[in-house]
Amino acid sequence: MIDLIAHIFEGVSTFGQMDAHTVMIRLALIAAGFLLVYLSGKNILDPMVLMPMGLAMILVNGATLTIEGKLANLFLDPMLSKPEEVVNSMQILFLQPIYNLMFSNGLIACLVFMGIGVITPLDYLIARPLTSMLIAAGAELGSILTFPLAVAFGFSYKEAASIAIVGGADGPMVLFTSLELAKHLFVPISVVAYVYLSVTYAIYPYMIKLLVPKPLQGIKMDLHSIPKVSSRQKLTFAVLAAAVLSVLFPAASPLFASFFIGVMVKEANLPRYRKFLDENVLTGSSFFLGFVLGALLSFYVVTDPRIVLIMILGMIALVLSGVGGIVAGLIAYKLSGGKINPLIGIAGVSCVPSTAKVAQKCAFAVNKQAIILPFAMGPNVAGVITTAIISGIYVALLR
Amino acid sequence: MPKLRKCSIVGNGQPRESSFLVHSYTAMGPQISLGSTPKVRREQNDRERNWPKFAGTALNPCRLKQMMMGDTVKAIHALLFVTGIYGLTFLITLFVVAVILLIRWASSGHPRTTPLSKERYAERKEVTA
């Protein structure tokens, strides 16, 4: 009788086939999935990516069954490498085609980047390029200093670069770099990056309060001081930048191509393509990104004992980038003779447009007339470019 | 394979086993134990093997010692490496700035070098006026 029940409710009976340590990991991952769904449902975390991720974590760790004597699930198996196994698994595992055709080759990162390109305004970057780019370079501190830290903790150069790029705060870039340099750490690094990108925006306002004196937080910036930038200028920049950066870093050219093709579609005024990339490509790829990442977080994939270290280093990277951005903002404030609100420095941490919104929110809390969002978008977009440059250098040197 | 260093100890005139850098390969990869008596070394290796894996290799005291020796040197090399990368990033950043400034300059109506373009520019100005 018990055997029959165990046979019917296979997901439950598989708990009995595991050692205590694995059972603990499996239960912890299910609990983490519930927590992600709850927090993203409350809008504390980004629901676009993290809600499907949480649900997939619950399902993939709950729906475990035995196939040919091994514990498995019917979602996907990222460990397959032989072409024959991959093709066979595509007939059975329903997310396997998406994983093999979109994740293994980094296509998902490129699709997200195309969508980001379409929603990215280049006005302030073109109007004030030096300020924007130098603030963004300052906000890459985490992507740089986390590298030797990770090496000190015993990671190889390739792994350290994949972890350090979390400091760039750019999800697609993290996916791309870890897929290129440390495929075996792709799952933990990507999940840490996406969870932290949501969590960090809750931390940044406290960092701002700690590091920037209150009177400086409410500095008003003159909106009329931004020179008008034509679509033609932005289009020319997108084409030239894509060409030059691709020639310099062919290894990262898929990312540059994806981002700048999005910008080009926006600035060339192609409404059908724009709608397609924004509504279909970005929305669809964000959904599958979250769902497949969650499905990858099964208890038998997440066995790397260094995952705790990756979590710590990821957090250090984002905090260091935030500090670097704020310091760069303060330097810009000094050099401009007090005309620039130093809060735009935090927008150098490049997740478009969340950090720019954080800067605006903090300025607005101090001074209701302080509108800095258009200014913050400059370093924000420049941050995407500098992160892509660092990612390109890492991939080119270490691949 | 790390280099083995032989350090003879003056006493009975024979080199002692404890004076070598001994490499033991445990479940967590190669561990280096500095010269010590075989008993101490055995105990140390047992500690390494019994250290819970999920605690993370860097939290292992023996791993920490190894980190202090080998990984610190590696970290300093890595720091130099990323300093170079940061410098290169700054240079490319300035290059991107130069590209933007060039585009702005080119579209601002300044580059009128040939007589024909100067003529056209003057005509356009007249029409605008």
Closest Cβ opposite residue A306 in set B57, B72, B103: B57
| d(C-alpha A242, C-alpha A256), whole Å | 6
Cβ-proximal residues to A71 (8 Å cutoff; 6+ apart), any chain? A14, A17, A18, A64, A65, A300
Closest among A307, A303, A305, A295 to A64, alpha carbons compared? A295
Q: Which of A43 and A134 is assigned the larger pLDDT? A: A134
Say if CB A340 and CB A131 are below 8 A apart: yes
Give the pair of three-digit tokens for residue B20: 């070598």
Express as a percent the part of chain A with pLDDT over 90: 39
pLDDT at B17: 42
Cβ-proximal residues to A117 (8 Å cutoff; 6+ apart), any chain? A258, A259, A260, A261, A262, A263, A264, A265, A266, A277
Say if CB A384 and CB A350 are below 8 A apart: yes
Lowest mean pLDDT among A217-221, A289-293, B3-7, B23-27: B23-27
Q: Closest chain B residue to A149 measured between Cα atoms?
A: B75
Give the pair of three-digit tokens for residue A113: 């980047």
Q: What DSSP character marks residue B2?
A: P
Give the pair of three-digit tokens for residue A365: 């809390």
Question: How does pLDDT run across A115-159, given as a tens digit for each residue?
Answer: 989 988 888 899 999 999 999 999 999 999 999 999 998 899 999
Q: Which of A162 and B25 is assigned the larger pLDDT? A: A162
* Strand residues in chain B grouped as ranges (E): 22-26, 29-33
Q: Is A388 helix (H, G, I), strand (E, B) or coil?
A: helix
Cβ-proximal residues to A29 (8 Å cutoff; 6+ apart), any chain? A57, A61, A297, A298, A299, A302
pLDDT at B112: 59
pLDDT at B5: 45
Give the pair of three-digit tokens for residue A260: 């700048």
pLDDT at A250: 84
Residue B28 φ/ψ, nearest 5 degrees: -100, 15
| d(C-alpha A35, C-alpha A32), whole Å | 5
Q: Is the pLDDT of residue A204 over 50?
A: yes
Q: For the residues A60-67, what does the mean pLDDT come to?
A: 88
Closest Cβ opposite residue A144 in set B72, B85, B94: B85
Cβ-proximal residues to A241 (8 Å cutoff; 6+ apart), any chain? A256, A260, A385, B96, B99
Q: Which of A16 and B115 is assigned the larger pLDDT? A: A16
Dihedral angle at the C-alpha atoms of A293, A356, A123, A249, nearest 10 degrees?
A: -40
Q: Is the pLDDT of residue A391 over 70?
A: yes
B28 band by pLDDT with thresholds 50, 70 and 90: very low
Q: How far is B71 from chain A (nearest CA, A)?
A: 5
| d(C-alpha A150, C-alpha A224), whole Å | 45
Neighbours of B25 (CB within 10 A): 9
A320 band by pLDDT with thresholds 50, 70 and 90: very high
Mutate to test the interface with A, among B103, B107, B110 (most CBs of A within 10 A): B103
Say if CB A122 and CB A229 are below 8 A apart: yes
Give the pair of three-digit tokens for residue A128: 């004030």
Say if CB A139 and CB A390 are below 8 A apart: no
Q: How far is B115 from chain A (nearest CA, A)?
A: 25
| d(C-alpha A389, C-alpha A264), whole Å | 19
Cβ of B57 under 8 Å from any chain A Cβ? Answer: yes
Q: How far is B104 from chain A (nearest CA, A)?
A: 7
Give the pair of three-digit tokens for residue A289: 């990104």
Lowest mean pLDDT among A211-215, A258-262, B114-118: B114-118
pLDDT at B40: 60
Q: Is the pLDDT of residue A284 over 90?
A: yes
Question: How does pLDDT run across B75-94, given as a tens digit for each residue?
Answer: 889 999 999 999 999 999 99
Q: Is the pLDDT of residue B54 over 50?
A: no
ipTM, 2 dp: 0.81
pLDDT at A321: 93
Q: Is the pLDDT of residue A372 over 80?
A: yes
Question: How does pLDDT run across A239-277, given as a tens digit for each residue?
Answer: 999 998 889 888 788 888 999 999 999 999 899 999 999
Cβ of B91 under 8 Å from any chain A Cβ? Answer: no
pTM for this model (two decimals): 0.75
Q: How far is B17 from chain A (nearest CA, A)?
A: 28
Lowest mean pLDDT among A21-30, B8-17, B67-76, B117-126: B8-17
- The whole-chain average pLDDT of chain A stands at 88
Residues from chain B that touch A125, judged by Cβ atoms under 8 A, are 100
Express as a percent the part of chain A with pLDDT over 70: 98
Q: Is the pLDDT of residue B8 over 80?
A: no
